[in-house]
Amino acid sequence: MHRVMIALLALTMPALAEPKLDPSGTWLTPGGDAHIRISRCGGGYCGTVAKILTGETRDVNNPDPALRGRSLVGVALSSDMHPTLEGWEGSLYNFRDGKTYTGKLAMKSQNALELAGCVLGGLICKRQVWSRVN
């Protein structure tokens, strides 16, 4: 019995060691209104607004009145996305409503990145899938 468990564990080890798909690159939001650049930072990933394609170009919904006049291009949406078994977790700033959520990133394919913004300790999440631009 002991040998069977060790053999099964050994068979699963290569699968656990395989690297996850890399979310680095530029992504188009589902509404087609922005390009978001995801890049490595520290032990995880960071996301910044690379380009606004439609809609408001200033951070008008920011809870800090002093930041509402700044350009959205260059605004950090996430800076602390650390790896988990399913992808990455951290905080996500939604410039469309000015709120910061508990966030999750998960690669669905090489060209599809799922984001989840959650409240109530991750109990309620709103998900969307971004498409890779490059």
Model confidence pLDDT, tens digit, residues 57-111: 999 999 999 999 999 999 999 987 999 998 999 999 999 999 999 999 999 999 9
Alpha-carbon distance of 100 to 92, in angstroms, equals 5
- Quote helix, strand, coil % in the chain, to nearest 5: 15, 50, 35
Check which CATH number belongs to the domain holding 93 and give it.
Answer: 2.40.128.520
Per the domain annotation, does 61 fall within a domain?
A: yes
Per the domain annotation, does 81 fall within a domain?
A: yes
**How does pLDDT run across 13-30, given as a tens digit for each residue?**
444 333 468 999 999 999
pTM confidence score: 0.81
Look at the chain and report how many structural domains it folds into. 1
Per the domain annotation, does 30 fall within a domain?
A: yes
Per the domain annotation, does 113 fall within a domain?
A: yes
Domain enclosing residue 37, as ranges = 20-132
